[in-house]
Amino acid sequence: MTSSPTATETTTAAAPHPLDPLTAAEIEAARSALDAEGKVTASTRFPLVLPDEPDRHAVLAHRPGDPVSRRVRATLLDTATGRSAEALVDVTDPAAAVVLSHRDLDPAADGQPPVLFEEYETCDEIVKADAGWRKAMAERGVTDLSLVIAAPLAAGNFGIAAEAGRRMLRSLTFLRCNESDNPFAHPVGGLVADVDLTARRVVRLIDTGAVPVPAECGRYDAESTGPARTDLRPLEITQPEGPSFSLDGSQLSWQNWRLRLDFNAREGLVLHQITHRDGDRDRPVLHRASIAEMAVPYAEPDPARNWVCYLDSGEYLLGRNANALQLGCDCLGEITYVDAVLADDHGNPETLHNAICIHEEDIGLLWKHTNIFDGLAADSRRARRLVISYIATLGNYDYGFYWYLHQDGTIAFEAKATGLLQTSAAEPGAGSPYATEVAPGLLAPFHQHLFCARLDVTVDGPGNTVQEVDVVRLPTGPGNPNGNAFTTKATPVADSGEAGRVADPSVGRRWRIVNPGAANRMGAPVAYTLVPDSGPLLLSQPGSSVAERVAYATKHLWVTRYRPERRYPDGDYPNQQAGGPGVTAWSQPGESLEDTDLTVWHSFGPTHLPRLEDWPVMPVDVCGFSLRPTGFFDRNPALDLPKEAGGGSGGHCHA
């Protein structure tokens, strides 16, 4: 991981650290070691190459200069046979890398590896060569295939016997008016091709009957949308003395915050070892933070669409689909970009330029008081936050992922969904109870975006307990004569069997992560509070295929004992998995969750009922959560901001 040439501060070569991102040399070494062991042939592909992160206690024990062990977890797929395997390679010395283990994956038990980039093109070729599909298209009046897009999607698992053990994709079809047209304006209704990628053939064609292909174009480029507004004046954001953060290798420092950056193919951006300086101590808050999964289930019951549910991390890979960010477009101000090094389909390193954006932004008032007893004297400070972000494009949708560090000790996350709506076709004006008609005959189905944050908590140390905190109204009586009293009720999430929790905004429910072994000056345990996004949970019926595969989204919160192998809320290989692995498997009764190493999993996200205003390209839809210090500090930690004149954080007003 390196800063781009446009970085606004220098990056020095840091000593190796156990959590450093994989380097190109390490990726090359892993592939070479597997090749030397005879595990790589001409048809071998690498759907996943990830760092094998060390146990957090080993990381905690690491001191600068200590030897660092480096390992790579690689998933291999033989495209000729469909067989897959998982290998662990020691690349501590890239010149002498060693394969530590290699095991075959069982598609029935393990699931399939993620979708390869090259399989999109493979699927398009297979579909367009199929005689049945070509006949169905001809019956719809389409014989010129030059502007046709066969859009492959993950197949899921619906217990279809003929698909067992096969590597599958399901393909929808879209048309374009020309090569730059928006294909989602012209879905071909009622037609799905189920593709066996290994056999390279369509194994089933679903054709529920032709409906008119929507004719209206959905272009959103400047040439198609009319004259641009002329009443906007330039807006410039400058920091003449440069930004206030520094980046030393993968270690990022800003204000009192310290953390390590990582970026992997599956989760994208990962933040490690987040600490806050308090006096002379760097106090830990999170060992690891990432968005570990994102499911997008759709609501249409039609046979041609009732299978659609994306798992954008586990099936498609958030990190590999990251954008190369551009100044003035994706990021504004004094920006530092960071490159990421991942592996391509062949297991060779590739650099994603400008994958991560780091910058500061003013966010308004941090604190203020006007003293009415002192001639209306006013003290105030403006707030700024550090933003660490990246953007990934997954088919029709674009997602911005933003981690925020605040000067008052808050950590927050936002996901911003934009891009193009997934669409289907209907008779113009017919409408649908499961979709919004956004143009004549063009339906945008109802769907959900269900993220899952993985938070390896370490609030002032590893011994943590999660408490569910509700606001409770007290009954009117002798102790509450006017009926105005309310208090809080804190219930420990003590056992893994009760670890799945549901948000309840009617009682202000939140989850407080306390350290029973560390007290603040008032004698209470120090804590951070997860303030959740409390939108609807998964709306698919219990027992359905989607509910089995996206079980993490049936609760807003899961608490599990930390284990290094517990990486993802839906298991290591959710592609074509029937469900079972993940947080539900780890949430069986009998495992204590008090005063111990914990991982907190927060499920959140919008239920999207598309609007006409979301077409042809949608404004960002924002969701997220925050972690707020709750007795972690002994007073407001932002009292020491300077009384600087002018804008930005530290701006001081005195009337």
* Residues designated as active site: 312, 397
For residue 477, what is the DSSP state? Answer: B
**Cα-based distances in Å from 549 to 30, 397, 409:** 31, 21, 36
Nearest to 356 by CA among 317, 319, 384, 315: 319
Is the separation of the CB atoms in 261 and 252 below 8 Å?
yes
Given the structure tokens 């006949």, which residue do they identify?
Answer: 135
- Which two three-digit tokens encode residue 90? 């020691």
Chain centroid to Cα 185, Å, comes to 27
Phi and psi at residue 641, to the nearest 5°: -65, 140
Rounded to an integer, what distance in angstroms lies between the CA atom of residue 103 and that of residue 81?
16
- Which two three-digit tokens encode residue 210? 């032709």
Is the separation of the CB atoms in 73 and 88 below 8 Å?
yes
Nearest to 203 by CA among 230, 226, 232, 170: 170
Rounded to an integer, what distance in angstroms lies between the CA atom of residue 230 and that of residue 475?
60
- Rounding to the nearest 10 degrees, give the CA dihedral for residues 192, 196, 201, 205: -20
Chain centroid to Cα 78, Å, comes to 28
- Rounding to the nearest 10 degrees, give the CA dihedral for residues 548, 553, 558, 563: 60
Alpha-helix residue ranges (DSSP H) falling in 98-144: 107-110, 117-129, 131-139
Residues 6+ apart with CB under 8 A from 309: 154, 156, 295, 296, 297, 298, 540, 546, 549, 550
**Cα-based distances in Å from 24 to 29, 72, 344, 410, 617:** 9, 12, 11, 35, 37
Q: How many helices (H) and strands (E) does the chain have?
A: 6, 34
- Which two three-digit tokens encode residue 625? 């959560």
Rounded to an integer, what distance in angstroms lies between the CA atom of residue 199 and that of residue 342?
29
Residue 338 zone, left/alpha/beta (φ > 0; ψ -120 to 50; rest): beta
Q: To the nearest 5 percent, what fractions of the chain are helix, strand and coil?
A: 10, 40, 45
**Cα-based distances in Å from 114 to 130, 311, 471, 522:** 24, 10, 43, 50
For residue 314, what is the DSSP state? Answer: I
